[in-house]
Amino acid sequence: MSDQTATAPVVLRVDARHRYEIHVDGERAGLTAYRDRDDRRVFFHTEIDDAHAGQGLAAVLVEQALTDVRASGMRIVPVCPYVAKFLTKHREFADITDPVTPEVLTWLDARLGR
């Protein structure tokens, strides 16, 4: 048995920064970023810090973020490649997922100043 008392990861929605963060032992370990367009949450970037890579944290983060989107009565637009890949394996979110369209990409680029 290990002496380490690692706590379970905690996912927080940080509306002011347009993202969900995952924290491990009180330290931010990663994030998934979004912008809201009407009733759709457009996810465009997910990252896990190198120090926490390979622990399955991205899946925990995205699953809890998408669960929060459902609870908020919103829909998902998966521009982020990781979120899109996650959704192919987790069909339980298919009913609230909208396709990525050129219009959404143009809108997102304008919001992000790209």
Q: What is the pLDDT of residues 75-88, one digit of tens each?
A: 999 999 999 999 99
With CA atoms as reference, report the closest residue to 65 among 50, 51, 44, 38: 44
Q: pLDDT exceeding 70 applies to what percent of the chain?
A: 95
Question: What pLDDT does residue 6 have?
Answer: 63
DSSP E strand boundaries for the chain:
10-14, 19-24, 27-37, 40-48, 75-78
* pLDDT band at 3; cut points 50, 70, 90: very low
* pLDDT band at 114; cut points 50, 70, 90: confident
Q: What is the pLDDT of residues 86-112, one digit of tens each?
A: 999 999 999 999 999 999 999 999 999
Q: Which SS3 state, helix, strand or coil, does residue 19 take?
A: strand
- CA distances to 58, 79, 81, 102 from 70, rounded to whole Å, are 18, 17, 20, 24
> Could you give the CA distance from residue 64 to residue 17 in angstroms, rounded to a whole number?
17
* pLDDT band at 28; cut points 50, 70, 90: very high
Q: pLDDT exceeding 90 applies to what percent of the chain?
A: 92
